[in-house]
Structure 1
Amino acid sequence: MSGTERPLRVLFVCTQNKLRSPTAETLFREHPGWQVASAGTARDAEISLTRDLLEWADVAVCMEKRHRDWIRAKLGGVLPDARLLTLGIPDEYGFMDPELVTLLERLVPLRLAGTSPREV
């Protein structure tokens, strides 16, 4: 990283913030050049997605299209559409499920390839 760039801030989003997005956060916590967090769109999520969290992020990686649509409806304009990525991973995996880990390890780097942080 050059002196003017900071780590890419990646926010993983699912519904309850109990299984998929915390798995992604755990998996990519030590990824070089990334700072990661996770949140959920449901009112009773472990960590609820807020405007502040979305403003912190350079990119939101949504597990499903409905999460991206929720962000557009409730927090539209905080991040440009190009920074709202969707993986298409359904809610059928447990926390750190090996199949989920494999999907995330394959899809997340592909979706984030070429994404750089905003200038500081």
Structure 2
Amino acid sequence: MATKRSARSAGTSPDAHKTDGAADIHWADIILVMEQKHKNRLTAECSRLLDGKPIHVLDIPDDYKYIAPELVSILQESVAAYLVR
């Protein structure tokens, strides 16, 4: 039987549609970010909350509008490898 997976989306910029928070980090088993600068920002601002949480950089330029269809497609393809167990 397949395990159900859930995902949340949050940004590291104060201007993001939804910003990341402690509750999101506690909830996550793994954290996926689009760019290295996002990982750097998270580790600088939330280092204690991230203990034991793997963070993976997807190397997707953060040049897309929120929920842009092209971005959704790229994310679905990129994230699939991290969800297979």
Give the TM-score of the pair, scaled to structure 1. Answer: 0.58
Runs of 5+ unmatched residues, structure 2:
none
Q: Residues 27-47 of structure 1, C-alpha deviation per residue, up to 9 Å, x if partnerless?
A: xxxxx6112111111123221
CA RMSD of aligned residues (A): 2.4
SS in 2 for 1:54: helix
- Count of paired positions: 84
SS in 2 for 1:85: strand
Report the residue type matching 1:90 in the other structure.
Answer: P
| Residues 68/44 of structure 1: CA separation in 2 closer, same or farther (3 Å cut) | same
Aligned-pair CA distance for 1:82: 5.6
- Determine if the alignment matches structure 1 residue 92 to structure 2 residue 58: no
Runs of 5+ unmatched residues, structure 1:
2-31, 115-120
Identity of aligned residues (%): 30
Give the TM-score of the pair, scaled to structure 2. Answer: 0.77
Higher RCO structure (Cα 8 Å, ≥6 apart): 1
Map 1:1-120 → 2, pairs under 5 A = 33-80=4-51, 83-94=54-65, 95-98=67-70, 100-114=71-85
